[in-house]
Amino acid sequence: MKNLLLISNSTQFGSGYLEHCAEQVKSFFSGVENVLFVPYALQDLDRYADKACATFAEMGLSMKSCHLHADPGAAVRAADGLFIGGGNSFRLLEKLYRLNMVDAIRKRVGEGMRYMGASAGTNMACVSIRTTNDMPIVYPPSFSGLNLVPFQINPHFFDASPENQHMGETRETRIAEFHEENAEPVIGLREGAMLHVDGDRMTLLGKNGAKLFRRGDPPLEVKVGSDLSYLLG
Amino acid sequence: MKNLLLISNSTQFGSGYLEHCAEQVKSFFSGVENVLFVPYALQDLDRYADKACATFAEMGLSMKSCHLHADPGAAVRAADGLFIGGGNSFRLLEKLYRLNMVDAIRKRVGEGMRYMGASAGTNMACVSIRTTNDMPIVYPPSFSGLNLVPFQINPHFFDASPENQHMGETRETRIAEFHEENAEPVIGLREGAMLHVDGDRMTLLGKNGAKLFRRGDPPLEVKVGSDLSYLLG
């Protein structure tokens, strides 16, 4: 039974690290003793692990970072919960492949290990990283992700502003380009929003909602509390 | 003798396609009869080529699209000028590799073929596409670009706004992440700005200027008209 908490952003404007989703995180990892942190999306692993583990400790949760293990893949096989933090998706995915963590994570999630991702960690859970917002600073051996859900998420999703005078593509234009080349549905998760997958059920939690993009269909606004289980099928 | 015109954006807010840089484009291709257009950054090749070639015709320039040739690489070998239009950098680069155009373009640029790029077409001219803003909708066989200049450009560069409440990385943060993994200098080209490379000389043209990021140094504001030849060395 899969159990996933996929968060758009680890920090909400005006509040602290994981503060906006603390309630959901506590509930998600309730009773899980052996949570492992994956810090590879950022460069400074020690500092990132310190911050994340301290925040977990404040929530009454025990977490250790996989970069302190000689064999991170073995650490995954021994974990009952996993949190992959945000940062750069290309750097993170390249590291997961290089450290042979991809198959280990997929296997443990299938066995019931709880998986939480924020931002780049949420991109990892998808079919591929083809809907990340990050700069491609590192060339990974593949864009294929952990494939824990059969769709794509665009974290930090935001709507086009009519006042915007910048001519770079809007987020919706980028997702439309994705659909020119790929078929998977894309959930644009606004900051504050998160998806909870519990077996064959999926619900939108948090605040600010999401926008669902399916190839060939007009975008669909999704309200917090919505049942999105049909996207798991 | 290399001759490159590397434009940040093909459309400026409030004006038409290539209108903000029409003067520089006309001057750059002045006397060049056989200009080839590369439309692969967008999906609809016919429509894109029609628009670009019509805009060139209005400027008194003759241009044909390479997608109408059976062998686009051969078309490059016969061209005296090239314009690679904007769109998605990942899709574009994958196409250039698949159609065996990378070496042909590099060779012709070395022989003096004029190369103009806008947005994704400007990304192509760099060492790699690792400073593109685009979504990675297609997996190219490499991130290595045409390597016509020994640095990186970030097109559509914009400065962080103090009012911004979105928690996605700012452009400067993304470029700092690039420098955690790579050594090349990055020129953040604001919309309206462009670089002209003429042999061993490089000048910043257009408007709104640029910001130069070198690994380990504070960012440097670059004014229009600045001589940037030292970055070619």
Is ipTM strictly over 0.90?
yes
Burial class of B88 by CB neighbour count within 10 A (0 to 12, 13 to 18, 19+) = buried
Chain B (26-85) residues lying within 8 Å, Cβ to Cβ, of chain A: 43
In this prediction, residue B146 carries a pLDDT of: 98
pTM (2 decimals)? 0.97
Gap between the Cα atoms of B229 and B204, Å rounded = 10
What are B192's two structure tokens?
A: 């309206």
Distance CA B87, CA B120 (A): 6
Please give the structure tokens belonging to residue B203.
């000048």
In chain B, residues with a C-beta closer than 8 Å to the C-beta of A167 are 9, 11-13, 156, 191
Annotation says A71 is catalytic: no
Rg (CA), chain B: 17
Strands A193-198 vs A3-7: parallel, antiparallel or unpaired: antiparallel
pLDDT reported for residue A161: 84
The SS3 of residue B97 is: helix
Amino acid of residue A176: A
Tokens for B129, please give them.
């596409």
**CB pairs < 8 Å spanning A and B:** 106
B3 touches chain A (CB under 8 A): no
pLDDT tens string B48-69 = 999 999 999 999 999 999 999 9
Strand extents, DSSP E, chain B:
3-7, 35-38, 63-65, 81-84, 114-118, 152-157, 186-190, 193-198, 201-206, 210-213, 220-222
Chain B segment 190-209 residues within 8 A of A by beta carbon are 191
Encoded amino acid at A152, one letter: Q
- Kindly tell me if the per-residue pLDDT of B167 is higher than 90: no
The residue annotated as part of the active site, out of A8, A119, A128, A196, is A119
Tokens of B87: 């769109």
CATH architecture, domain A3-149+190-207+224-232: 3-Layer(aba) Sandwich (3.40)
- Give B131's pLDDT tier (boundaries 50, 70, 90): very high
The pLDDT, as a whole number, for residue B84 is 98
Q: Which residues contact B47 (CB under 8 A, 6 or more apart)?
A: none
Nearest residue to A106 via CA among A232, A229, A2, A197: A2
Tens of pLDDT, residue by residue, chain A (233 residues): 899 999 999 999 999 999 999 999 999 999 999 999 999 999 999 999 999 999 999 999 999 999 999 999 999 999 999 999 999 999 999 999 999 999 999 999 999 999 999 999 999 999 999 999 999 999 999 999 999 999 999 999 999 888 888 888 899 999 999 999 999 999 999 999 999 999 999 999 999 999 999 999 999 999 999 999 999 98
Three-class secondary structure of residue B159 per DSSP:
coil
Selecting from A91, A158, A180 the residue whose C-beta is nearest the C-beta of B181 gives: A91
Return mean pLDDT, chain A. 97
Q: Residue A78: which residues within 8 A CB-CB, separation 6 or more?
A: A34
CB contact under 8 A, A137 and B13: no
Contact call for residues B34 and B56 (beta carbons, < 8 A): no
B115 touches chain A (CB under 8 A): no
- The answer to whether the Cβ–Cβ distance between A165 and B133 falls below 8 Å is no
What residues form DSSP beta bridges with A4? A115, A197
What one-character DSSP code corresponds to residue A162?
T
Q: Does B135 touch chain A (CB under 8 A)?
A: yes
- Give the HSE-up count for residue A96: Cα atoms under 13 Å, Cβ half-sphere: 31
Mean pLDDT, rounded, for B11-22: 95
**pLDDT value of position B116:** 98
The span from the CA of B223 to the CA of A128, in Å, is 40
User: Quick count: other Cβ atoms within 10 Å of Cβ B167?
Assistant: 18
Residue B107 C-beta-side C-alpha neighbours within 13 Å: 12
| Distance, CA of B51 to CA of B18 (rounded, Å) | 11
Strand intervals (E) in chain A: 3-7, 35-38, 63-65, 81-84, 114-118, 152-157, 186-190, 193-198, 201-206, 210-213, 220-222
**Contact state of B167 with A9 under an 8 Å Cβ cutoff:** yes
Percent of chain A whose pLDDT exceeds 70: 100
Whether B162 shows a pLDDT value over 90: the answer reads no
Known catalytic residues of B? 119, 134, 156
Which neighbouring-strand residues pair with B11? B17
